Amino acid sequence: MSENVVIALDAMGGDDAPDIVIKGVDIVRIQFPNARFLLFGDEARLNPLLDAYPLVRSVCEIRHTTHAIKGEDKPSHALRKGRQSSMRLAIDAVRDGEAGGVVSAGNTGALMAMAKFSLRTLPGIDRPALASMLPSPKGETIMLDLGANVECDADNLVQFAVMGADFARAVLGRVPPRVGLLNVGSEELKGSDTIKEAGERLRSIKNPPFEYCGFVEGDDITRGIVDVVVTDGFTGNVALKTAEGVATLFSNFLKAGFQQSLMSKIGYLLSKNGLKVLKNRLDPRLYNGGVFLGLNGVCVKSHGGTDAFGFANAVAVTIGMVSEGMIDRMIAHFKAFDVETKASSNEEASSSEVTEA
């Protein structure tokens, strides 16, 4: 980073906050020495922690508030009563231009409601989407939506594709990003009318900021054949939870297998280094940080039960998006996309008039 990047942190959000927040900053400040942080939370709890990490204090500024959003708070209640909460104030810092992005490990529903209310959606985007990364043999694959929108139309899916491509470019450095639309088959005739319409529209975009690769199936998600997998929030959330469950099941089976006999225990010792590589590759903390794409500001949701390492990764993702100017690029792409759409509509209208004449 050539210039300082300022990130707002909800220091009171998460199961082990504010401890993991401070320790997370201590990890990420080494990777991003030019980053600065605004800590929103109770200074009576933050100051003792910062005293133990003087280098963290040097890159942080405390914004005091004693109000924090609880995990059980309903989004509507948090929106009405949480204006002075650490979460809302951190979001407002992005809205007011004091910070380039915000990270919170707090209540997901409250964060979504507050961020959408305070930051608003970008021009050309109807709904924000929740995106995250999954491991694949070729690196990471971005998937969206993961639950923010249970029902989506073709317009939403096309918008998700553009947003996901910009995310892949900013965070993973994929140029051009490869985008696939999740379906029950790769053939063009398969799927619902919504999926087929979205596919036709993605294929028809002139000079898109990504490479559209057509339909992909569920087993393609972790194969790495595309950089971005686009789907509705219902399907995306089910797929994500299924992948997490399979990973846990595989880990438990593997652990039980190595404990069955003396020979299996010896086998574990012989393969210990390889298993360590596998464990590190599948470590969920490496993929911590769900991003609300489509808002007029960078907003990242860290897992509430993560540790300092996981929180640091969520902050690193945020810094990457801010440093790459993802929001400005997204605005430019949607503006160009809107112009292309209008031009196509005018051409179709003209052709229709000529035909009728």
Backbone CA torsion sign across 137, 294, 291, 230: negative
Per-run averaged pLDDT (10 residues), the chain, 357 residues: 81 92 95 95 96 95 94 90 95 95 92 92 87 84 89 92 89 89 88 92 86 92 91 90 82 84 82 73 70 92 89 92 86 68 44 39
Q: Where are the beta strands (DSSP E) in 199-254?
A: 211-216, 228-230
pLDDT at residue 282, rounded to an integer: 65
Please give the Cα distance from 261 to 75 (Å, whole number): 51
pLDDT at residue 349, rounded to an integer: 40
Q: Which two tokens stand for residue 132?
A: 């995250």
Measured from the Cβ of residue 43, the count of other Cβ atoms closer than 10 Å reads 15
CA angle 143, 149, 152 (to 5 degrees): 90
CATH architecture of 126-287: 3-Layer(aba) Sandwich (3.40)
DSSP helix/strand/coil, 233: helix
Measured from the Cβ of residue 96, the count of other Cβ atoms closer than 10 Å reads 10
The closest alpha carbon to 202, from 191, 192, 213, 193, belongs to 213
Q: ω before 128 within 30° of 0 (cis)?
A: no
Measured from the Cβ of residue 26, the count of other Cβ atoms closer than 10 Å reads 17
Q: Is 14 left (phi over 0), alpha (psi -120 to 50) or beta?
A: left
pLDDT at residue 348, rounded to an integer: 44
Please give the Cα distance from 65 to 270 (Å, whole number): 53
Contact (Cβ atoms closer than 8 angstroms) between residue 103 and residue 12: no
Q: Which two tokens stand for residue 35?
A: 């980053």
pTM of the predicted model as reported, rounded to 2 decimal places: 0.80
The owner of tokens 């069955």 is 260
Q: What residue spans define the domains of the chain?
A: 1-120+295-324, 126-287
pLDDT at residue 127, rounded to an integer: 86
pLDDT at residue 125, rounded to an integer: 85
pLDDT at residue 356, rounded to an integer: 41
Asked if CATH classification 3.40.50.1100 holds for the domain at 1-120+295-324, the reply, yes or no, is no
pLDDT at residue 338, rounded to an integer: 59
What's 169's DSSP letter? I
